[in-house]
Amino acid sequence: MTTPITNVADLRELAKRRVPRAFFEYADRGSYDEITLKANRAAFERIALRQRVMCDVDNRSLATDILGEPVSMPLAIAPTGLTGLQHGAGEILGARAAAKAGIPFCLSTMSICSIEQVRAAVDTPFWFQVYVMRDRGFTRDLIQRAKAAECSALMLTADLTVQGQRHREIKNGLSVPPKITLRNILDMASKPRWAWSMLRAPSRSFGNLQGRVENTDSLSTLAQWIAKQFDPRLNWRDLEWIRAIWPGKLIIKGILDPHDARLAADHGVDAIVVSNHGGRQLDSAPATIDVLPSIVQAVGDRTQVLFDGGILSGQDLFKALACGAHAGLIGKAFLYGLGAMGEAGVTQTIELIRRELSVTMALTGQTDVRRITNDVIWRA
């Protein structure tokens, strides 16, 4: 009898066995000394919750809205590059699982399946995350493609104009386009489920970047490619340019400072994502849950405050809501589910988090996810 999967950590273990090492470590690891990666988790662990009893918690509501759209719970799938290398067609499977669960899915600029492939495979609208490239014409085309695909929100990522170094990425030889080396071919061949999913996938290289990725004669590392393509001149004035191309809902991701949060609100964005990129960018940046309350205080209700960084359970999500987030996003938790079992694994991640959130609400005396406040946090 196989051991049942009871939490996201189990899905991570399964993904580690099933996904080729280079891709698993790309998803799993952080930048430099991984101080921020670890801080995201440690900060969640330091928060204690107040247990309440005798509150009649039989009927609990997890439903809310994000950017005015109803969702079954305050959770969304974060944009993750190279998702389709964790499992063939990963972006399509992720978007499908999210749609079935009633939560938003955000597609990355650096996805393997293209905007159009995801649009053709999934009926429910998804969000699109944009990286601003030095080539503004190409960036404009990306945004226009998202508009043509009827994406329901545009997420501008602000915290990766220059990439924080991830040692494992370099040691594993991650490249653009993804290449097969003698070293990783053996690893890939020993992952039959993964290999089968890749054979059937509609895309195995960066679907949105036709004409942008070098041919195999001139392979570059991911970091080299980003240095050449991403625009480090990105600044607040660019928002006007983006607004002119994209009239719909606009989210800025990568806000970690109350001052920047205020500027984002001043520029009229519909939402911000408080994020340190999952501990993959500025190492020694604070844990996102530690800065969240000051950012919520800085912006009030001028913009919706979304949150990510370290969420692996419904308890974590509950703590983020208690600290003032409107909803949380999951990056690694999503990828572990995907790498472990494809769409079923993503569904399992989401449903685990849903059940954990619901039980945590019950044990803290909460019946409505929209009414969780910092009262639920234990203060000695």
Ligand X SMILES: Cc1cc2nc3c(=O)[nH]c(=O)nc-3n(C[C@H](O)[C@H](O)[C@H](O)COP(=O)(O)O)c2cc1C
Catalytic residues: 277
Indicate the annotated binding residues for glyoxylate: 26, 131, 166, 277, 280
Q: Which residues from 168-187 bind ligand X, rule CB under 6 A?
A: none
Q: Which of 132, 226, 282, 335 binds ligand COI (CB under 6 A)?
A: 226
Peptide bond into 20 cis (omega under 30): no
Verify binding: residue 273, ligand COI, rule CB under 6 A: no
Residue 196 one-letter amino acid? W
In the shown chain, the binding pattern of residues 222 to 261 toward ligand X, with x for contact by CB under 6 A and - for none, equals: -------------------------------x--------
Cβ neighbors of 379 (< 8 A, separation 6 or more) are none
- 236, 141 Cβ separation under 8 angstroms: no
CA angle 18, 30, 285 (to 5 degrees): 155
Verify binding: residue 328, ligand COI, rule CB under 6 A: no
- Residues 285 and 309: their CA atoms lie apart, in Å, by 12
Give me the least distance between CB of 163 and ligand X, in Å please.
11
Residue 129 binding partner per list ligand X, ligand COI, none, with a CB distance cut-off of 5 to 8 Å that depends on partner kind:
ligand X
Indicate the annotated binding residues for FMN: 79-81, 108, 129, 157, 253, 275
Q: Determine how many CB atoms are found less than 10 A away from the CB of residue 232.
A: 10
Phi first, then psi: give them for residue 129, nearest 5 degrees: -100, 130
In the shown chain, the binding pattern of residues 26 to 45 toward ligand X, with x for contact by CB under 6 A and - for none, equals: xx------------x-----
DSSP state of 368: B
Give me the least distance between CB of 161 and ligand COI, in Å please.
10
- Residues 372 and 326: their CA atoms lie apart, in Å, by 10
Q: Where are the beta strands (DSSP E) in the chain?
A: 64-66, 69-71, 75-77, 106-107, 127-130, 153-157, 175-176, 220-221, 250-255, 271-274, 304-308, 327-330
Q: Which of 160, 251, 292, 350 binds ligand COI (CB under 6 A)?
A: 160
Residue 61 one-letter amino acid? S
Residues in contact with ligand X, counted by CB under 6 A, come to a total of 25
Give me the least distance between CB of 279 and ligand COI, in Å please.
10
Q: Which of 20, 81, 84, 94 binds ligand COI (CB under 6 A)?
A: 81
Verify binding: residue 80, ligand X, rule CB under 6 A: yes
- Residues 221 and 293: their CA atoms lie apart, in Å, by 38
Q: Which residues from 22-61 bind ligand COI, rule CB under 6 A?
A: none
Residue 330 binding partner per list ligand X, ligand COI, none, with a CB distance cut-off of 5 to 8 Å that depends on partner kind:
ligand X
Give me the least distance between CB of 340 and ligand COI, in Å please.
20
What distance lies between CA 102 and its chain's CA centroid?
A: 16
Residues that bind ligand X (CB under 6 A): 26-27, 40, 78-81, 108, 110, 129, 157, 253, 275, 277-278, 280, 308-311, 330-333, 335
